[in-house]
């Protein structure tokens, strides 16, 4: 099975316009790995590890996302199953193929694991101009939104729609990704209600969504804006759907299949 996610957009910025497949990004219930390996239990915590705080933040986010979505599913009479998280550098094996830094964070539905490349957060800050904890949280929440889609069967529906109408493949990919943005906003809505977010956090998340829109990345890569090649949506579209999730806080509000995305 394939993969896709926020991290895949790094390819546009770096000029690696390789083919990308369906995938998603999610959070942990089990192991954390580094340098392409997965181990059970807490990650190494040397005092001089420059990634320690980032890994700790990823774990905090993962736990909160699992708690939030478990409660949302329970309220609808459904059971939520968490996924394992693998934090990696350079590369790691997955059921979707070999994951590398060039791909960035992604979710593999084949093994229901989120693979988080630590170097992406540095790119997010330095190249995408989207610093801040909530910008990082948005990336994780987007990927976890893909896991929610997978559990609810939305990914299978989207794959089938692409198979039946290959001419709409990119459009359907965009709508799928925008739904994951909206689902990230649903988590953010819960965080706001619980006073988990600090002043300015929402703006950080919206700025991150704008920074990694397909049109913005194409411009930064020095190419022309080509909507027919988009897979994740424009900056305006990503901001629109993240904001909708933040404001309305429900899965039902995230129906991107109708009207203009």
Nearest to 245 by CA among 205, 195, 194, 211: 205
Average pLDDT per block of 10 residues along the chain, 261 residues long = 38 29 30 35 56 85 94 94 81 75 77 81 71 79 92 94 94 93 95 84 82 78 78 89 95 93 87
Tens-place pLDDT, residues 73-94: 999 999 999 978 888 777 777 8
Concatenated DSSP letters of 178-197? HHHHHHHHHHHHHHHHTT-S
Helix (H) or strand (E) holding 138: helix 133-152
What tokens were used for 102?
Answer: 């060039």
Strand segments, DSSP code E, in the chain are: 32-34, 37-39, 84-88, 91-94, 97-100, 106-108, 113-117
Question: What integer pLDDT is reported at residue 148 of this predicted model?
Answer: 95
pTM of the model: 0.79
Question: What integer pLDDT is reported at residue 10 of this predicted model?
Answer: 34
- Number of Cα atoms under 13 Å in the Cβ half of residue 24: 33
Query: What are the angstrom distances between the C-alpha of 85 and each of 32, 41, 94, 108, 247?
Result: 6, 11, 12, 11, 28
Query: What are the angstrom distances between the C-alpha of 137 and each of 65, 116, 154, 241, 260?
Result: 10, 12, 23, 16, 27
Domain ranges of the chain: 6-254
CA-angle at 202, arms to 201 and 204, nearest 5°: 65
Question: What integer pLDDT is reported at residue 131 of this predicted model?
Answer: 63
**Which residues are registered as beta bridge partners of 32?**
39
CB 104, CB 6: distance < 8 Å? yes
Question: What integer pLDDT is reported at residue 71 of this predicted model?
Answer: 96
Phi, psi dihedral angles at 235 (to 5 degrees):
-60, -45
Q: What is the DSSP letter of 198?
A: P
Question: What integer pLDDT is reported at residue 47 of this predicted model?
Answer: 61
């Amino acid at each position: 099975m394939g993969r896709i996610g926020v991290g895949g957009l790094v390819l546009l910025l770096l000029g690696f316009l390789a083919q990308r497949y369906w995938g998603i990004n999610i959070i942990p219930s089990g192991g954390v790995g580094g340098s392409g390996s997965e181990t059970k239990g807490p990650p190494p915590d040397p005092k001089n590890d420059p990634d320690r705080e980032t890994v700790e933040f990823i774990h905090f986010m993962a736990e909160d996302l699992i708690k939030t979505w478990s409660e949302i599913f329970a309220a609808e009479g459904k059971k939520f199953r968490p996924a394992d998280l693998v934090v990696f550098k350079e590369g790691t094996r997955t059921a979707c193929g070999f994951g590398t830094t060039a791909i960035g964070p992604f979710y593999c539905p084949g093994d229901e694991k989120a693979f988080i490349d630590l170097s992406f957060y540095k790119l997010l800050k330095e190249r995408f101009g989207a610093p801040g904890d909530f910008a990082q949280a948005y990336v994780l929440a987007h990927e976890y939104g893909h896991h929610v889609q997978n559990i609810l069967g939305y990914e299978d529906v989207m794959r089938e729609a692409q198979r039946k109408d290959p001419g709409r493949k990119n459009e359907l990919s965009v709508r799928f990704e925008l739904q994951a943005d909206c689902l990230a906003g649903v988590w953010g809505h819960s965080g706001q209600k619980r006073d988990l977010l600090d002043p300015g956090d929402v703006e950080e998340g919206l700025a991150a969504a704008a920074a990694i829109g397909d049109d913005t990345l194409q411009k930064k890569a020095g190419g022309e804006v080509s909507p027919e090649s988009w897979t994740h949506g424009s900056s305006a579209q990503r901001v629109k759907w993240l904001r909708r999730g933040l404001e309305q806080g429900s899965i039902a509000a995230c129906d991107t299949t109708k009207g203009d995305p």
